[in-house]
Amino acid sequence: MTSSVTPTRPPATLLFIFGGSGDLNFRKLTPALYNLFLDGYMPEQFEVVGIGRTAYTDDSYRERLLEGIDEFSRRKNGPENQWATFSPRVGYLQMDGGDAAAYHLIGDRVKAREADWGGPANIIFYMSVAPQLVPGIATNLSQLDFCGDKSRVRIVVEKPFGHDLQSARELNALLLSHFAEEQIYRIDHYLGKETVQNLLALRFANTLFEPLWNHNYVEYVQLTAAETVGLEGRGGYYEQSGALRDMIQNHLLQLLCMVAMEPPTSFEADEIRNKKVDVLHAIRRIAPDQVDQVAVRGQYGAGEKDGGSASRKPTPAYRDEEGVKPDSMTETFAAVTFFCDNWRWEGTPFYVRTGKHLAEKSSVITVQFRPAPHYAFPGAAAKSWQHNCLIISIQPDMNIRLRFQAKRPGQTLALDPVEMEFNYNTSFTEQQPEAYETLLLDVMAGDATLFMRADQVDEAWQIVMPILDQWAAQTDPASMPIYEPGSWGPDQSTEMIEKNGFNWMNE
Ligand SMILES: NC(=O)C1=CN([C@@H]2O[C@H](COP(=O)(O)OP(=O)(O)OC[C@H]3O[C@@H](n4cnc5c(N)ncnc54)[C@H](OP(=O)(O)O)[C@@H]3O)[C@@H](O)[C@H]2O)C=CC1
Ligand SMILES: O=C1O[C@H](COP(=O)(O)O)[C@@H](O)[C@H](O)[C@H]1O
């Protein structure tokens, strides 16, 4: 998220991707870099070096990456064969990240490129590896003499950032013993999504909504990140994680911050991050004996899902998935009620939910306004006050809808809900960049606004820890609510919100 209207090209950059042979690089990182290149945003001088233990030559590595471009990139290798221009600037280093003696290969590569390019370059280390490898790699990197150079050396750390509060603190402490905070880019890819960044524009570039944006007018806020997919081959990781750690601790709490934060005075990275951390700080801590009142978990059972055609596909229960224990207590669905105890939001609940194998893929924020203080309309018309809301669709639909009531034409005072809609696809002709394009460009440009600072990660863990601890203590497999694949999660989720007189918005 550059603070200038037209981004300038970052300076010369050497990007090392630990985990170059892995899934994330194949599906997301290289396609993102390729699209930045096609859009003219890559530096004039750059090289991307994948690192892994798998044996690849530069050529066989490039061939493998091209498969990823053809399958996952928003722009493929077209008839002009643009890949042929991009790929010579991609290479591979076969090395084990745990082998300290091998790191001279990185030092040699940096020296060679800087000699070619005629001066110092940005050096970026992307940790696209399992989290347990990060401390060792960071420690080995710190022995390279240039690593302390705050002006041009950065380390990007993927999620999950720790497994719990303690491990996150340990990881932060270790990283901070080798790198300065401004060198560390903790990535949360939701923050790179166009529709998420647009929350700042919606709220702070308009006067329209701000007077209403508080507990006086907002009855509640709902944040949903529903997925239709299951584990996608990531059973080993997910079994240790679960929906609360995987989505709520990071992505959904970050979205909540964007909805609830105070107006920033500038778009400086620390100004935005200060305002966001204030929200996390104000979120009410959940007492252990309150967890069951405000948090619900669930796990998908066996069932059938609509495969997008008339046919329905059988799906195994979570406990029958590869890499999952048969009596697993890992939740694939979580819903939590948060309260933000500050002047703006006192008493307004924030209902947050996420899950795998749900009815729809849809990430949506709904801001529900309070009913009008007095209805002069006849009784039946007044019933539809709940239609007074702002619906912000993050993905796959990318739109904002303002729903309000209008008089039905004719000799009647009946009211019907109607919508005004802003839709990205019809309002703009520009293609939407993928989140990783925005975030990688920001790292190269040295803009940390959309990245998590250590204190944000820490606060977010503090918020979810009571729930995690309580759930960890409930070990009877029969106590886990099971939901049907293709549904909206367990009944307990509906009950959690209905007891306050509200409903989930499933659209
Ligand atoms: N995939 C995704 O969609 C997402 C992934 N992430 C995160 O990104 C990170 C990577 O995930 P993903 O790509 O899926 O994982 P993969 O298992 O596909 O890849 C892991 C990578 O780590 C490398 N690796 C493992 N051990 C070593 C070692 N000792 N030295 C050097 N490299 C090593 C592997 O290479 P080799 O075997 O060749 O050594 C491989 O390239 C994880 O932290 C994950 O949580 C985050 C969001 C989404
Ligand atoms: O970080 C993660 O996000 C994805 C969902 O990302 P999206 O951009 O498709 O909404 C989720 O599937 C995965 O489990 C999680 O680790």
DSSP one-letter string for 436-475 = HHHHHHHHHHT--TTSB-HHHHHHHHHHHHHHHHHHHH--
- Domain range annotation of the chain: 13-158, 192-371+455-498
User: Is residue 39 packed enough to be buried (19+ CB in 10 Å), middle (13-18) or exposed (0-12)?
Assistant: middle
pLDDT of residue 243: 98
Question: Residue 278 CB: number of other CB atoms within 10 A?
Answer: 16
Does any ligand 2 atom lie closer than 6 A to the CB of residue 188?
Answer: no
Give distance in angstroms: CA of 181 to centre of ligand 2: 26
Instruction: Give the pLDDT means over successive 10-residue stretches in the chain (507 positions).
Output: 71 98 97 97 98 98 97 92 96 98 98 97 97 96 96 96 96 97 97 96 96 97 97 91 97 98 95 97 98 98 73 87 97 98 98 97 97 79 71 97 93 89 95 95 96 97 98 97 97 97 91
Check if 13-158 and 192-371+455-498 are the same fold: no
Cite the annotated binding site for NADP(+) by residue number: 53, 159
Long-range pairs of 33-36 with CB within 8 A, sequence gap ≥ 24 = 33/86, 33/440, 34/69, 34/73, 34/75, 34/82, 34/83, 34/86, 35/73, 35/74, 35/75, 35/433, 35/434, 35/437, 36/437, 36/440, 36/441
Name the residue with the closest Cα to ligand 2, atom 14.
Answer: 246
Tokens (6 digits) for 127: 């940790």
Does any ligand 1 atom lie closer than 6 A to the CB of residue 354?
Answer: no
Which of 341, 345, 214 is CA-nearest to residue 283? 341
Which residues are bridge partners to 97 per DSSP?
Answer: none
Q: How far apart are CA 389 and CA 439, in angstroms?
A: 31
Does any ligand 1 atom lie closer than 6 A to the CB of residue 128?
Answer: yes
| Mutational test site, ligand 2, from 251, 331, 434, max ligand atoms within 8 Å of CB | 251
Question: Residue 208 CB: number of other CB atoms within 10 A?
Answer: 11
Task: Tell me if 322 sits within 8 A of 235, measured CB to CB.
Answer: yes
Model's pTM, two decimal places?
0.95
Name the residue with the closest Cα to ligand 2, atom 13.
Answer: 246
Give distance in angstroms: CA of 303 to centre of ligand 2: 22
pLDDT of residue 412: 85
Active-site entry in 251, 281, 357, 374: 251
Question: Residue 444: how many CA atoms within 13 Å on its side-chain side?
Answer: 28
What is the distance, to the nearest Å, from the Cα of residue 269 to the centroid of all Cα atoms in its chain? 18
Contacts of 309 (CB under 8 A, 6+ apart): none
Which of 42, 28, 41 is CA-nearest to residue 74? 28
| 125 SS3 class | strand
Give distance in angstroms: CA of 231 to centre of ligand 1: 16
Give distance in angstroms: CA of 227 to centre of ligand 2: 8
Residue holding tokens 């596909």?
A: 313
| Mutational test site, ligand 1, from 53, 134, 245, max ligand atoms within 8 Å of CB | 53
pLDDT of residue 373: 84
Q: How far apart are CA 134 and CA 377, in angstroms?
A: 62
What CATH number does the domain located at 13-158 have? 3.40.50.720
Whether 251 is catalytic: yes
Cite the annotated binding site for substrate by residue number: 189, 193, 227, 246, 356, 361
CATH topology (fold) of 192-371+455-498: Dihydrodipicolinate Reductase; domain 2 (3.30.360)
Cite the annotated binding site by residue number: 53, 159, 189, 193, 227, 246, 356, 361
Give distance in angstroms: CA of 169 to centre of ligand 1: 22
